[in-house]
Structure 1
Amino acid sequence: MGSKYGVIVMGPAGAGKTTFCSALIEHLRNNRRSCFYINLDPAAEDFVYEPDVDIKDLISLEDVMEELHLGPNGGLIYCFEFLLDNLDFITDPLETVTDEYLIIIDMPGQIELYSHVPVLPNLVRHLAHGSLNISMCAAYLLESTFIVDRAKFFSGTLSAMSAMLLLELPHVNILSKMDLVKGQVARKDLKRFIDPDISLLQDVPDSGLVYDANENLETPDPTESQSVMTGESFARLNRAVGQLIDEFSLVSFLKLDVQNEDSVGSVLSYIDDAIQFHESQEPREPMDDVQDDGDMG
């Protein structure tokens, strides 16, 4: 059997992951493509499209918190560790999924999963390099309203970069809910956020992100209390991180408005390129579409 294809949808809480998954499924169906939807958020309840596999059928966050007296974050980690001990819950249904399907995996929003906890890399490794051989990419969503607050934006950019390093997957970073910032940010300014520009740190001195752009100034000792108290140490750290993002082009963003089908289709084309979906597809005859109308996934 050839490779399977999938995208794992990630990002902080409130970024619009499940809404994006629903818009992606609708777009795929409208374009006569099959998909297989997996929900891995043990606290999610409302879905536009019922998942083909739902982690709550295996374990729910509410039950874990009640029975083990854990908080939301600890309970979530327990749910994923339990999932790793019962991987056949996911792998068995995926065995019959063909390479014509796009597997969409909807993740929870707790940032710990994408920063320092090893459960997600272990899951991805099993799906991508195990017997299923799923060619995967990660779609990391960041709410576009973050660009109004530079500190939030660069914090979110660092989170996206952390997820890239942790998972070692092709990555598509997305600014979601673009409809919320229409009229608030000029198009020329928006470009500086799509490909994060280090000069953004110079524009707003009251943001706490400002740094001195003069390379010839004497560099203060970052360990001195005066440097810490005046913020000079943090300014140097912000500059170093900004230069890392800027010079190596580690993070750039696509714009997403789920109400706009062209916008959803554009993001999907980047996902398809990242997983090389179209390279494995056989050319289709016109009559194939007619025959497939009755059995779209």
Structure 2
Amino acid sequence: MGSKYGTIVMGPAGAGKTTFCSALIQHLRNNKRSCFYINLDPAAEDFAYEPDVDIKELISLEDVMEELHLGPNGGLIYCFEFLLENLDFITDPLENVTEEYLIIIDMPGQIELYTHVPIVPNLIKALTRGSLNVSMCAAYLLESNFIIDRAKFFSGTLSAMSAMLMMEIPHVNILSKMDLVKGQVARKELKRFIDPDTSLLQDAPESGLVYEYKEGVDNGENDKADSVVTGESFARLNRAVGQLIDDFSLVSFLKLDVQDEDSIGAVLSYIDDAIQFHEAQEPNEPMDDMNEPEMG
């Protein structure tokens, strides 16, 4: 039984997951590599490439919300619970996928699926064990605009770390949409975000940690206890988050610009290394070409 290889593309809404999947598929095609594209976002509509498996053919978020009177988040969790009860919808098509293929799974953006409910971990266990035995890597996208607000960046980094701990598979973290911050962040400064540097949180006021005083509202001045919304409390909270990330030393980021073929190729090389894709490919023996019969 041959191995199977895949990546599950995750991250918050707006991070560019589907755009990354499309760019990755195009890059694979340009390099004569095969891929198998799975859409697991029951609300997605537009695709540059038609998915080989689309969860909407099993269940759609719109139908769930209408029939069960659920909100978007509750409806999405219901869709995934339904998927787990009907796993053959995914597993059966994957049985015939060979080791030459890269399986690309496009996920929705609701962060709770990756951080504090076991739905996606259970899905990954079903794919990485048993007869399928897919060697899987998580690609977690975080929008590069987060680095403009450093507190927001560290919050996103903490979410990435939480997903890493929940998934228990090799993990590649990616700062997407790098073209949007060109010229806004110096290269030297950007390096501090690639390997998150907690000293970023000490750089006020640009860090976003300074509480803005406003007239006509309660600024917490009369509260003897330090209010949670004051600058110092907010700063301490973010320093604690930063220290937690620093203590684990798990999270670093790759830069991604989907308009740049080299950038996509670099990210793909990290994914291939994580799933050990190339180790399973048959090498060409030096004598193979010499032993081929001459064509008349």
Between the aligned residues of both structures, percent identity stands at: 87
Q: How far apart, CA to CA, are the structure 1 residues paired with 2:227 and 2:145?
A: 32
Q: How far apart, CA to CA, are the structure 1 residues paired with 2:182 and 2:285?
A: 42
- Equivalences for 1:162-181 in 2 at 5 Å? 162-181=162-181
- Equivalences for 1:1-297 in 2 at 5 Å? 1-205=1-205, 207=207, 209=209, 225-226=225-226, 228=228, 230=230, 232-284=232-284
- Please list the CA deviations of residues 240-287 of structure 1 after superposition, one character each: whole Å capped at 9, or x if unmatched: 321232244211100000000000000000000000111100024899
Q: How far apart, CA to CA, are the structure 2 residues paired with 1:253 and 1:174?
A: 5
| Shift in CA distance, 206/194, structure 1 to aligned 2, threshold 3 Å | closer
Maintained 8 Å contact 2:149/2:208: no
Secondary structure class of the residue paired with 1:257: coil
| Shift in CA distance, 284/37, structure 1 to aligned 2, threshold 3 Å | farther
After the TM superposition, list the runs of 4 or more consecutive aligned residues in structure 1 that deviate by more than 3 angstroms: 205-210, 226-237, 284-288
Q: Alpha-carbon deviation of 1:208?
A: 5.7
**Higher alpha-carbon deviation: 131-140 or 233-242:** 233-242
> TM-score, length-normalised on structure 2?
0.88
Q: How far apart, CA to CA, are the structure 1 residues paired with 2:65 and 2:156?
A: 28
Q: Alpha-carbon deviation of 1:232?
A: 4.5
How many aligned positions are there?
Answer: 275
More helix by share: 1
Maintained 8 Å contact 2:141/2:173: yes
Alignment-mate amino acid for residue 138 of structure 1? A
Alignment-mate amino acid for residue 134 of structure 2? I
Alignment-mate amino acid for residue 111 of structure 1? I
Alignment-mate amino acid for residue 78 of structure 2? Y
Secondary structure class of the residue paired with 2:110: coil
> TM-score, length-normalised on structure 1?
0.88
Alignment-mate amino acid for residue 14 of structure 1? G
Q: How far apart, CA to CA, are the structure 2 residues paired with 1:226 and 1:188?
A: 36
Q: Alpha-carbon deviation of 1:128?
A: 0.8
Q: Alpha-carbon deviation of 1:2?
A: 2.4
Alignment-mate amino acid for residue 155 of structure 2? S
Maintained 8 Å contact 2:81/2:119: yes
Secondary structure class of the residue paired with 2:226: helix
| Shift in CA distance, 71/230, structure 1 to aligned 2, threshold 3 Å | closer
Q: Alpha-carbon deviation of 1:207?
A: 4.7
RMSD between aligned alpha carbons?
A: 2.0
Alignment-mate amino acid for residue 274 of structure 1? A
Structure of higher CA gyration radius: 2
Runs of 5+ in structure 2 lacking a partner? 211-223, 290-296
Maintained 8 Å contact 2:42/2:76: yes
Q: Alpha-carbon deviation of 1:115?
A: 1.2
Q: How far apart, CA to CA, are the structure 1 residues paired with 2:123 and 2:21?
A: 20
Runs of 5+ in structure 1 lacking a partner? 211-223, 289-297
- Please list the CA deviations of residues 152-211 of structure 1 after superposition, one character each: whole Å capped at 9, or x if unmatched: 11111011011001111111000000000000000000000001101100102475647x
